[in-house]
Amino acid sequence: MPELAEVEFFRQKWNPGLRQKVISVHLHPQKRIFRETSTTLLSRAIQGRHLRSSHAHGKQMLFRFGSDVWLGIHLGMTGKLSTASASHIPRPHDHLVLRTARHSLIFQDPRLFGRVRFALSPQPPSWWTTLPPPIHSPKFSKKKLEDICSRRSRAPLKALLLMQQFFPGIGNWMADEILWRSRLSPRTHAGHLSQKTISNLHTHIRKICHDALRIIGKQGSNPPRSWLFLHRWKSGGFCPRCHHPLQRAPIGGRTTCWCPLCQPPTPLPRAPQH
């Protein structure tokens, strides 16, 4: 599933259409990516307007057309944005195609877990403005992470990092990468971390998000081999730091990969002595 960096990568795929007028809209109105969205209103509103700007936030994207038309896209599991020539003939999974004089801006989604939303208003819609603060914003502070860890003290760290209401855009591979860098077991409960460990975890959350946005989001490259990223899918893969065989198990509902040597179980805090 696309995470924050891949979403940023796909957001830019429609950049060739910036400042261009949408001449026609082609879509598949019955597909579930348009659930709770009026495709008739959407087509009518976008047609004739110029693509003005786009934004990514966690796993969501927002495109502004003219001064008051907002198109929200969530890529789901298999969604992708791309640009083709104006003469592009839509393929079966191209569920939304915006045609300009020079380009076709395409949203394709074979498995249909994505979502397209639309709003007509001078201000960005509430489903965008109420998203949690981005991880790279100053609002995602150490204090905020301490609060999250104490509110969800019984959650294993892997499950915690996947909670989109706290960590927008972090998905399976980024959560594994963050815990591997922080040398924390994915099974450690959030309530068992010392202040120093939380501070270290905070640093790595910010660093991984920042580096992933730069390497994958902006450059479209794979992370370097020193990351867990390129080793975590291999059966029989080895930790790129200590070369110990990596371990895999479902945690927090997702296949989790970690190094048992670099990420040993965190000892429980000692009970107070009487």
Other beta carbons within 10 Å of 67: 9
Q: Are 180 and 264 in contact (CB under 8 A)?
A: no
Q: Decide if 138 contacts 190 (C-beta within 8 A).
A: no
Q: Which of 77, 72, 10, 19 is nearest to 216 (CA)?
A: 10
Instruction: Write out the binding residues for Zn ion, residues 215-244 only, by CB under 5 A.
Output: 239, 241-242, 244
Closest to Zn ion by CB, 19 vs 244, is: 244
Pick between residue 162 and residue 257 the one whose CB is nearest to Zn ion.
257
Q: Which is nearer to Zn ion, 116 or 257 (CB)?
A: 257
Q: Rounded to the nearest whole angstrom, what is the least distance from the CB of residue 176 to Zn ion in the complex?
A: 13
Hey, CA dihedral for 100, 113, 55, 254, is it positive or negative? Answer: negative
Query: At its nearest, how many Å lie between Zn ion and the CB of residue 179?
Result: 12
Is 184 one of the binding residues for Zn ion (CB under 5 A)? no
Q: Does 163 bind Zn ion (CB under 5 A)?
A: no
Sequence letter at residue 13: K
Q: Which amino acid is at 167?
A: F
- We find the least distance from the C-beta atom of residue 5 to Zn ion, in angstroms, to be 23
Number of shown-chain residues binding Zn ion (CB under 5 A): 7
Distance CA 258, CA 263 (A): 7
Under rule CB under 5 A, residue 262 binds Zn ion: yes
**Smallest separation, CB 259 to Zn ion (Å):** 3
Does residue 179 bind Zn ion (CB under 5 A)? no
Q: Could you say whether residue 257 binds Zn ion (CB under 5 A)?
A: no
Q: Tokens standing for 165?
A: 């209401």
Distances (CA, A) of 260 to 45, 205, 244: 54, 20, 8
Residues engaged in binding Zn ion (CB under 5 A): 239, 241-242, 244, 259, 261-262
